[in-house]
Amino acid sequence: MENKFLKISYRLAKIPDECSLSDKTLLIAAEHATQSSHSPYSKFRVGAALLLEDDSIIEGSNQENASFPVGFCAERTALSAKVAIAPNKKIKTIAIRVKSALKVVNQPAAPCGICRQVLLEAEEAQNQNIKVVMQGESGPILIFESIKDLVPFYFGADDF
């Protein structure tokens, strides 16, 4: 048996000023999206903002339901809105921000497994990487050049 190691590459910005103007703008849009979150159960607001190839921005937020599996994550809400509003435009970047009524969140919250898979398939369908930018309410900003960096052993359409 052979041991293997996995290396994941990402950038870490300690403050927003270390980010590009477009990433800073998108993080602000994702923070704005948290305001439309419906999260009465978890008190954990998630906002996502997509930057499209024409530099337009589409926002989405998490929408909880008392029957927890029925809810929608912010990332998938934004992607669904993009398909309805701009189906033929490519996504350049997704920014994700989080807030909690229970405590200050100073670390980024990564997309759940379902959202990672949906983002991966969107990336493959457009044949272009989707950059992922994540931040909590404050604190460090993580920047990944592709969703595949968050799903190193991904399952795609070519696998079946």
Residue 146 sits in a domain of what CATH number? 3.40.140.10
Q: How confident is the model at residue 160 (pLDDT cuts 50, 70, 90)?
A: low
At 152 the pLDDT is: 84
Mean pLDDT taken over the chain: 94
Structural tokens at position 153? 């052993």
The catalytic position among 31, 59, 64, 75 is 75
Number of domains the chain is built from? 1
**Is the pLDDT confidence value at 155 over 90?**
no
Q: Is residue 53 part of a domain?
A: yes
Give me the sign of the Cα torsion angle 108, 82, 90, 31. Answer: negative
Q: Is residue 90 part of a domain?
A: yes
For 64, the domain range is 11-150
**Is the pLDDT confidence value at 21 over 90?**
yes
Annotated catalytic, 75? yes
CA-closest candidate to residue 145, choices 126, 132, 156, 160 = 132
